Structure 1
C-alpha cells in the first residue's frame, strides 16, 4: 500500500507541476485511485483530522470568497486604484509603489488570489491611461501579494493549511509573520526601481488625463460598501479573538458571509460566482492524497530522514526547511507543497523541547513557501491568475520574463528571512 500511495502521489504531483492536465483532474483522479484501491477509505478520507480533508480550510476559503463576491459589487477596489494613481501624481514609479503597497496590505486580509483578481484589471486600465507597459506593474503586484499574504493566517492559502495542522492562531501569525513582512516590503520597495529599470516613462498628456479621473465615480453602491466594511471589521475581530470566543476561523468566515448575504440582499448568482469551486475541490483531492501518505507511514519516515540529515540540529533543520521550501515552491505550486510538508514538519516538532524553536519550524515552512512562490510563473496560484488576465488583455507574460524577476526577489526575501529566524528564535530566544 505504501508503494501505491507514493506512486499515485508522485504521478499526480508531476501532472500538477507540468500542467499536462488540469490540476483539479490530477488531484481528484489521484484521490479516486487511492480510494478505489483501498489505500485509504471514507473514514480516513472524510472524517479523520489527521488523514482526511481539512474542512476548516475548505470552509474558511468558501466564506471569504463569498464575502469578496459581495464586496466586488461596491467598486471599492477600483476606487483605491484610481485614488493611488492620483496621489502618486501620475508618476509610474510612485504608482507602482502605491499599488504594490495596497496589494500587499489587501492580501494580508483577503486571499491573495482574490486580491490580484480585483486589482489587476484596474492596473491594466491605469497603465493604459498612462501609456506605460503594464507587465512590470502586474509582476510587481503579484509578488507583493505573495509577500503581503504571508502576514496573516488568511492571506495565503499555504498559511491556512499550516495553521490548521499546527494549531497556530490568527494572532500567532500577526505576531510572528507580520513584522517580517513589513521588513520585506520595505526591502521590496527599495528594489523596485532597479528591478524594473526603464519601465517608468509615461506620456505627459496621458498622465494629465489620469489626474482628471474622479475616483468617487468608481463606487457603485455606497450603502453596500458600508455594510461590507462593517461585516469585514467584525470578521477580522472574530479572527483576532477566536481563541477567546472558541470559534474556529472557518466558523467566523461562514458567519460573516451569511450575515453579509442576508443584509446585502445581493443575488445568489453574484456572490456564488466568486467562489472558486475548482480550487476547493482541488484542496479536497490533495488532502486525501496527503492523508494516504500519512496513513501508510510515509510522512513519519520522511520526517525521520530529515532529522537524520541534520543530525537533530534544530537551527540547521529550520534553515533546511526554509531553503528547500523556497526552492520547491518556486518549481511547483506552493499549495500542494505545503499540504505535503505540513505533516512532515508536525513530526519534526515533536522532537523539539523548546516551544519557540518548535514554532520556528512552522514559520520556516510558511516563509519559504509564501516567498518561494514568487520564484516562477507557476510558484503560486496568484501568479497563474495574473498571467491569465494579462494574456486576455493582450499583454502576455512569458514564463522566463516572470522568472528572471521572481528568482531575484525570492533570493532577496529568503536572505532577509534567514537572519530573522535565527535572531528571533535562537539568538535571543
Structure 2
C-alpha cells in the first residue's frame, strides 16, 4: 500500500496500551494491581474494576483518535518518502548486516562466511547508491489499494478454522471465569490460575501430539524478567524507598484542605505516576506505587478511600507508557519487530507523537476521575 509502517505501528502500540487499561488482565500493571492482596480485600474484583476503568478508557480512546487525526491530517506524513525498490533494498542490507554481526568469531570457516556476507553487503550498498541517484519519483500510486488488499487476503487467509473455533471457545471460557470472580463464592481461584486453566483447556482441545514446539514459543525470558523484577521491588521496599516516596506524597496531600484532599490525591497520583512511567518501565513503577497507594489509604490522617487512588494509579501507569519509546513493553516489542524488517524507530520520533498524546490522556483521565469521585462520589 506504499505506507510508512512506523506511524501505523506507533498508533498500534499506543492504542494497545490504552485498551490494556480497561480490564485486570489487559496490561501487566493491571495484573499487578488486581493481584495485590490489599486491593482484593478492599472488594475490587474483575467486574467493578472493568466498570470503573472502561468508561475512562473509552473517553481516552476518543481523545486519542481525534488528536491523531489532527496530528496526521496531512496524509502525506503516512506515505513512504522513497520508492519501493529503494526501501526493499535497504531492508535487504539491514537483514544481511544483522546476519553477519550474529556470526561468532570461532573458526576460519565462520570468518570466510562473514567475509562473503560483507562482500554481499558492499555490492548491495553500491546498488543502493545508484538507485538513489537515479530516483526522483514519488512512491505512492493510489490505484494499488484494492489489488494489494486482495493479495493480502489471499496470502494471510485463515488456514485452520477448526483450531480457530477451539481457541475462541477457550478464550470465552476464560473471560466468563474472570467475570465470575466478582461472586464471593466463586473467587477462590486467582486471575493467574484462571488464565492458566484456559491455556490448559486449549492444549487439550487442540490435541497436539508434540508440545515441544509450543513450549519453545513461550516467552520464558520475559517471565524470568518479571520474576526478577518483583524480587528487586521487594528489596527496594525492605530498604525503605517505597515508604520515603509515599511520605513525600502524603506531605503534599495533607497540606491541602480536607475537603479537597481526594481531588489533590487523584491529580498528584495520575500525573506523578504517569510522568515517571514515561521514562521508567511501568511494570516496576506499578509494583512500587501500589504499595504507596495502599499506605496512603490506610493513613488515618488522610482518610482517603482506596478505590479512586487505585484507578488514578492505573490511568497514570498504563497511559504514561505512551509518552516515550521505553515507557511500556508494547512500545519496545513493536520497535524491535519493526527494526527486524528494516524500519527503525527513533526515540525522538516516537516522543514527538507519543508525549503530546500522553498529556491529552492525563487531562481526560483527571477530568473523568474528578467527576466520578469528587462530584458524584462513585466509590
Place the TM-score, normalised by the shorter chain, in its bin.
0.7 to 0.9
2:145 alignment counterpart: 207
2:30 — aligned with what? Answer: 159
The alignment partner of 1:375 has SS state of coil
Q: How does 1:246-395 map to 2 (within 5 A)?
A: 246=187, 247-266=189-208, 267-311=210-254, 313-351=261-299, 357-395=305-343
CA positional deviation for 1:301: 4.1
Deviations 1:246-298 (A, max 9, x none): 22111111111111111102332333233221221122112122222333444
- Structure 1 CA distance, aligned partners of 2:48 and 2:32? 14
**CA offset at residue 204 of structure 1?**
2.3
Distance in 1 of aligned mates of 2:366 and 2:314: 13
Measure the CA separation in 1 of the matches of 2:190 and 2:300.
27
| Contact 1:352-1:358 at 8 Å conserved across structures | no
Under a length normalisation based on structure 1, what TM-score does the superposition of the two structures give?
0.66
Deviation at 1:154, TM superposition (A): 0.9
Q: How much has 1:242 moved relative to structure 2? A: 1.8
Q: Does the 8 Å CA contact 2:266/2:308 hold for their aligned counterparts?
A: yes
Measured in 2, the distance between the counterparts of 1:270 and 1:352 equals 54
Q: 2:68 aligns with which of 184, 187, 192?
A: 192
Q: 1:410 Cα deviation (Å)? A: 0.0
Equivalent residue of 2:322, what SS?
Answer: coil
Q: Structure 1: how far apart are the matches of 2:64 and 2:298?
A: 35
**Aligned mate of 1:406, from 316, 337, 354:** 354
4+ long deviations beyond 4 Å? 352-356
Tell me the CA shift for residue 362 of structure 1. 0.8
Pairing partner for 2:46 from 161, 170, 176: 170
Separation of aligned partners in 2, 1:302 and 1:143: 28
Shift of 1:388: 0.7
Q: Is the 8 A contact 1:357 1:425 kept in 2?
A: no
Structure 1, residues 123-145: CA drift from partner, whole Å, max 9, x if none?
xxxxxxx1111111001110000
Question: Helix, strand or coil: the match of 1:199?
Answer: helix
Q: Deviations over 1:187-236 (max 9, x none)?
A: 21122222233335552232121242473762121110000000100100
**1:40-119 paired onto structure 2 within 5 Å:** none
Deviation at 1:302, TM superposition (A): 3.3
Q: Confirm or deny that 1:221 pairs with 2:97.
A: no
Structure 2 runs not aligned, ≥5 long: 80-139, 256-260
- Determine whether 1:139 maps to 2:78: no
Instruction: Give the equivalent residue in structure 2 for 1:18.
Output: none
Distance 1:345 1:240 in 2: 25
Q: 1:148–1:181: 8 Å Cα contact kept in structure 2?
A: yes
Contact 1:357–1:426 (8 Å) recurs in 2? no
Distance 1:323 1:270 in 2: 44
Cα RMSD after superposing both structures: 2.1
Which residue in 1 is equivalent to 2:92?
Answer: none
Using the size of structure 2 for normalisation, the TM-score is 0.74
* Alignment CA distance shift 1:223-1:154 (3 Å): same
Larger Rg, first or second structure (1 or 2)? 2
Q: Which consecutive unaligned segments of at least 5 residues does structure 1 have?
A: 1-129
Cα distance between partner residues in 1 of 2:294 and 2:198:
31
Q: Which moved more, 1:164-173 or 1:402-411?
A: 164-173
Shift of 1:352: 6.4
CA contact (8 A) 2:277 2:317 kept: yes
Of 296-305 and 172-181, more deviation after overlay is shown by 296-305
Question: Matched residues in 2 for 1:186 and 1:298: separation?
Answer: 37
Contact 1:333–1:378 under 8 Å retained in 2: yes
